[in-house]
Amino acid sequence: MEVDFETIVDAIISCLRGNIIKIPYFEYIGAFQSRDSVPKSRKGIYIFTAYEEISLSRKKIQQYNEAKNWNGTYVGAGFNYPFPDTIHVGDVYYLGKVTGKHNSIYQRLKIHFGDRTDCATNGIKMKMTARNFVDRKLIVHVFLFEKGNDNYYIVNETEKRLHQKLRPLTGGSQ
């Protein structure tokens, strides 16, 4: 079975732009301002975009990139170079995936929407003091991987190609 990743990536980008179309292997379930409406036991891809303009400064970016967990490890998901002056509505802020047996998109979003420094897990952690300037200014688009399919190569490769095409402002490609 040959997978047409170009079609998958183009369809996901189309959904991000408001043109909801069928996506091979994935189901777009919408955009959310919290994790509460996201199914608790599914794998897939999630993409944070700005729904409000966010002004940045070198100091904000430095504090964001240097944020640490309780044990001194970096939180991760820092801004990528070149650093923007402003995050515009619709800009792709962060892109992630979930394929692990003991994780779900819901659980990952709990980290991203929160401020947990008591765990060493990387993430946006947008309620942290050094990062709260993005809190309530981002939405997350959720693309669930088809139920019953355990070929997570499709999720991994799709995420990698989305990173190359969308170039998120924060985080890195796996």
Is 95 within the bounds of a domain? yes
What's the structural domain count of the chain?
1
Nearest of 47, 3, 52, 7 to residue 163 by alpha carbon: 47
Residues in Cβ contact with 5 at an 8 Å cutoff, skipping those fewer than 6 apart = 157, 158, 161
- 174 within some domain: no
28 - beta bridge partners?
A: 143
Give pLDDT tens digits for 139-160: 999 999 998 888 999 999 999 9
* Cα 129 from Cα 67, distance rounded (Å): 9
Range of the domain at 112: 5-166
pLDDT tops 70 at residue 111: yes
pLDDT in tens, 42-52: 899 999 999 99
Say if residues 48 and 61 touch (Cβ distance below 8 Å): no
First-to-final CA distance of the chain: 24
Per-residue pLDDT, averaged over 105-121, amounts to: 74
Interhelix angle 5-16/153-166, rounded to 10 degrees, is 60
Asked if the structure places residue 19 within a domain, the reply is: yes
> Does residue 171 lie within any of the structural domains?
no
**Quick one: tokens of 1?**
């079975």
Tell me if 173 is assigned to some domain.
no
Q: What is the pLDDT of residue 125?
A: 84
Asked whether residue 47 is assigned to any structural domain, the reply reads: yes
In a domain, 134, yes or no: yes
Whether 172 maps to a domain, the answer reads: no
Q: What mean pLDDT do residues 70-86 have?
A: 84
Q: How confident is the model at residue 120 (pLDDT cuts 50, 70, 90)?
A: low
Contact 80, 169 (CB under 8 A): yes
